[in-house]
Structure 1
Amino acid sequence: MIERGNPVPSVGIKLVTAAGVEDTMSDAALGQGTIVLFSVPGAFTPTCHVNHLPGFVANAAKLRAAGVDRIVCAATNDHHVMKAWGEAAGALDEIDFLADGNGALAEAMGIAKDLSGAGMGKRFARAAMIIRDGVVDAVFVEDAPGVTASGAPAILMALEAAA
C-alpha cells in the first residue's frame, strides 16, 4: 500500500473538471500543490453518493482555508460516469474527478479492493490522502464499511494537526 513519503504513481487517467475531460497521467494531475485525494468504490453507489462526496463538497471552503489547493475524487469508473456524477452532485465547481476506468491507479497505489462478490470487480478502496507536490503526506484507509477515517472532517482534523 502507498505510504507517506511515496511519490504518486504515474498511470494514465482521465481527469474530469468543470472545464471538461483531459487525458493525462496521475503524477501530473496530482503533482502540484497540496491536494486531498479521496477514493471511492463507485460513483453513484449509496455510501459514496450520500455520505462521502457530499462531505467534501460541503467542506471545500474549509479545506482550502486549511491550505488545500485542489480536492480530487478518484473512482474506478469511466470518465462519462464520473462527469455525470460530478454534475448530478453539483460538485464540479469544487472537486475534480479522476476516472481510473481499468483500476490501474488503484492497483499501483495498493488500495484496490476486490468487490467481485458484489458484481463490481476490482475497485478503489474507500480512502483519502493528503498529497504535497506529488508526494504522499498522509494516507487514511477505511477498515470497515462507512465513512470515518477518509471523510472530510477527518481530513480537516489531520490538516489542522499538521499545521
Structure 2
Amino acid sequence: MGAVCTAAGRISGFTDTHPGRYPLRIHLPPTPLQIELAASSSSSTPKSRRRRRRKKKKMAPIAVGDSIPDGTLAWFDESDQLQQVSIHSLAAGKKVILFGVPGAFTPTCSMQHVPGFITSAEELKSKGVDEILLLSVNDPFVMKAWAKTYPENKHVKFLADGSGTYTRALGLELDLSEKGLGTRSRRFALLADDLKVKVANIEEGGAFTISGADEILKAL
C-alpha cells in the first residue's frame, strides 16, 4: 500500500529517526484535473484579452442604392407618450427623409439644420415626401425637450438613438470623445423611396454644407 502524508508531517508506514532535524517536503505530481485546469486558464486568458481589445467592425457609410436598415428608435408621440418605433414601419412603401445631427441643442443643429426642415416641411410634403425623420444619438427625454423648442413644428419626428446602435448600422457614427461628447452621428440627409436610398448627402464630421432641406428639395 502506498505511503500517505499525515498532518504531523510524517509518512505512515515509515519512522522518522531524526524528527525536527530535516523538514519533510513532499512534491506530489499534479493530478490530471489540475493539468487540465492550468492548460485551460493559460490558453483562454490571452484570447479573452484579445476579445476585449478587438473593436467592433465599422460599417461602410450608407450610399445611394442601398436599402436603409431596420432598427428601433424612441420618440414621444403627439400625445406625449414614449414610443418604440421601427424605421421600416415608418419608411416601407413611402418616400421618407431621414436626416441626422451630431447632437440635440448644439448650435448648428438647433439654429440651421433642424429649422430648415421644419420651415420646408410643407413644400417637401407637396413634392411627395411622406415622413421627415430626425435622428440624433441622444436619449428620448432630451429629444422631447428639444422638440418643444420648435412649437411651429408639425411634421418632423424627433427620434432618439440613445445607444447609437442605429447610427452605427448606417455607418455614420462620429467620434467626438475629444470634445466630451462620445460617439455621435455625422451630419447627413437621406431621401429614401420604399426603403431604397435615392439621395445620400453625408457631411464630413459635423460640417453643414450639403445636408440641408434645400439640397433635398433640389433632388425632388
Calculate the TM-score normalised by the size of structure 1.
Answer: 0.90
For 2:71, the equivalent position in structure 1 comes to: 11
Percent identity between the two aligned chains: 36
Q: Counterpart of 2:169 in 1: which secondary structure?
A: helix
Higher RCO, Cα 8 Å, sep 6+: 1
Shift of 1:90: 2.1
1:94 and 2:155 are equivalent in the alignment = yes
Gaps of 5+ in 1: none
Q: 1:18–1:93: 8 Å Cα contact kept in structure 2?
A: no
8 Å contact 2:67–2:197 — kept in the other structure?
Answer: yes
Task: Tell me, in whole angstroms, the C-alpha distance in 1 between the residues paired with 2:176 and 2:152.
Answer: 26
1:12 maps to amino acid: T
Q: Which moved more, 1:91-100 or 1:127-136?
A: 91-100
> Which of 139, 142, 156 is 2:203 aligned to?
142
Partner SS state of residue 29, structure 1: helix
One-letter amino acid matched to 1:4: V
Q: 1:32 and 1:138 mapped to 2: Cα distance? A: 17
Report if the CA contact (8 A) 2:75-2:143 is conserved: no
What residue is the counterpart of 2:121 in the other structure? Answer: 60
Give the 3 Å change call, closer, same or farther, for CA 110–145 of structure 1 in structure 2. closer
Q: 137-146 vs 52-61, which deviates more? A: 137-146
For the 8 Å contact 2:102–2:109, the answer to whether it is kept is yes
- Partner of 2:91 in structure 1? 30
1:40/1:125 contact within 8 Å kept: yes
Shift of 1:120: 0.6
Q: Following TM superposition, by how much is the alpha carbon of 1:92 offset from its aligned partner in structure 2, in angstroms?
A: 4.5
Residue 79 (structure 1) aligns with: 140
Higher Cα radius of gyration: 2
Runs of 5+ consecutive residues of structure 2 not aligned to the other structure: 1-60
Which amino acid counterpart does residue 17 of structure 1 have in structure 2? D
Quote the Cα distance in structure 1 between the aligned partners of 2:93 and 2:128: 13
Q: Distance in 2 between matches of 1:96 and 1:44?
A: 16
In terms of fraction of residues, the more strand-rich structure is 1
Quick one: structure 1 residues 36 and 112, their matched pair in 2 at CA, closer, same or farther if it must change by over 3 Å? Answer: same
Q: 1:12 to 1:114 in 2, by over 3 A?
A: same
Q: Count residues in correspondence.
A: 159
CA contact (8 A) 1:148 1:154 kept: no
Aligned CA distance change for structure 1 residues 91 and 83 (closer, same or farther; 3 Å) = farther
- In structure 2, relative to structure 1, the CA distance for the partners of 1:25 and 1:49 (3 Å cut) is same
CA distance in 2 between partners of 1:57 and 1:10 (Å): 24
Greater alpha carbon shift after TM alignment, 10-19 vs 119-128: 10-19
TM-score, normalising length: structure 2: 0.68
The residue type equivalent to 1:62 in the other structure is: E
RMSD of Structure 2 on Structure 1 (CA) = 1.6
Shift of 1:73: 0.5
Distance in 2, Cα, partners of 1:88 & 1:99: 16
Does 2:171 match 1:110? yes
